[in-house]
Amino acid sequence: MTVFVLNGPNLNLLGAREPEIYGRTTLEDIGKALAAAAAKAGRKVEFRQTNHEGLLVDWVQEAGAKGKGLIINPGAYTHTSIAIHDALKMLAIPKIELHLSNIHAREAFRRLSYVSPAVDAVICGLGAAGYLTALDALIRLIDKKPFA
């Protein structure tokens, strides 16, 4: 049972890029932690990052065809990409939007998400720990387990 975790532009620079906002944890560290947590839950993670919008759209479509669920941190594409929104709308699997920072407490342009209307849940502001929270929530959505 594979879940996809897709990351958008500039997330390859985590740990070095604006650590006061995004922390010092690298994307590689996050990927390893997710793989370990997923294995404990009997799942596999397909963990990817790209700086290219079209490739991210391709991966969203692949997640819908091959995966049981999707976590997406679209980075700056959150605020600009109707293409990613449309790709997400087509998926019949559970989907969670994720952001390391609280986008609602930042610049005004970051408060608009084209992704949010196309997903089942949004997690933001928990830093790198948000990925593990999102994985737990995604597994609950896949397994149709209550959150109570």
Let me know: does 55 contact 9? Beta carbons within 8 Å: no
Active-site annotation holds for 99: yes
d(CA 95, CA 116) in angstroms, rounded, equals 10
The CB density around residue 44, as the number of other CB atoms within 10 Å, is 15
Among the residues of the chain, which ranges form H helices?
19-22, 27-40, 53-66, 82-89, 129-143
Q: Which of 22, 77, 114, 131 is catalytic?
A: 22
- Of the residues 77, 85, 99, 131, only one is catalytic, namely 99
Please name which of 81, 118, 123 lies closest in space to residue 103, comparing C-alpha atoms: 123
Q: How far is CA 90 from CA 11, 119, 127, in A?
A: 25, 10, 28
Q: Mind telling me the catalytic residues?
A: 22, 99
